[in-house]
Structure 1
Amino acid sequence: MLYHISMTVKLPKDMDETTATGIKAREKAYSQDLQRSGVWRHLWRVTGQYENISIFDCRDNEHLHEVLTGLPLYPYMEMKITPLNRHPSSIHEGDQ
């Protein structure tokens, strides 16, 4: 099942740089593993914001929840999640 997710990161202003750098490094590694596995299908940066727009491909809602709560930046994120369904007028058969 595909999900459109908008993620906005809000790190505490008083978080020390060493901690922030470590969390971001773990986040990058985790997100790249998810991309390689096909779970995180698309990742776009929102210009000028600490925000991204992503497409996830998960088995179900529970799988998506496990993936998202595994993100090292999860405690500092606001997310808007929209489940997606293939549009009947789409000419792209592989987008499911």
Structure 2
Amino acid sequence: MLFHVRMDVNLPLDMPADVASEIKAREKAYSQDLQRSGKWRHIWRLAGEYANISIFDVESNAELHDILTALPLFPYMNMSVTPLCRHPSSVRDGDA
């Protein structure tokens, strides 16, 4: 199952820099492991925003929920999730 997820990060302005850096390092390691596994298929930064658009390829809604809620930055994010399916006009067979 493919999902489009927009993640907007809102760290508290009074969060100490060392705490923010540690959370971001854990986030990066976790997201890169998911990318290597194929679960987190794509990630794009939104220019000028502390936000990203990502594509996840998971087995179920529950698996996506578990992945997203395990993100170290999850407590500081607003997310919108959209399920995706292959468009009949697509020329790419691998986009199922």
**Into which bin does the TM-score normalised by the smaller protein fall?**
over 0.9
Tell me, which stretches of 5 or more residues in structure 2 are unaligned? none
Shift of residue 18, structure 1, vs aligned partner: 1.0
Cross-structure match for 1:94 = 94
Could you report, residue by residue, the CA deviation over 1:22-75 in whole angstroms, capped at 9, with x for unpaired residues?
A: 000000000000000000000000001100011000101000000001100000
Shift of residue 4, structure 1, vs aligned partner: 0.5
Using the aligned pairs only, state the percent identity: 64
- What is the root-mean-square deviation in Å for CA atoms of aligned residues? 0.6
Shift of residue 76, structure 1, vs aligned partner: 0.3
Q: TM-score, normalization: structure 2?
A: 0.98
Tell me, which stretches of 5 or more residues in structure 1 are unaligned? none
Following superposition of structure 1 onto structure 2, how do residues 9-20 of structure 1 map, counting pairs within 5 Å? 9-20=9-20
The amino acid across from 2:53 in the alignment is I
Counterpart secondary structure, 1:68 = helix
Q: TM-score, normalization: structure 1?
A: 0.98
Counterpart secondary structure, 1:71 = coil
Runs (4+) off by over 6 Å:
none
Counterpart secondary structure, 2:68 = helix
* Cα distance between partner residues in 1 of 2:66 and 2:80: 16
Following superposition of structure 1 onto structure 2, how do residues 1-96 of structure 1 map, counting pairs within 5 Å? 1-96=1-96
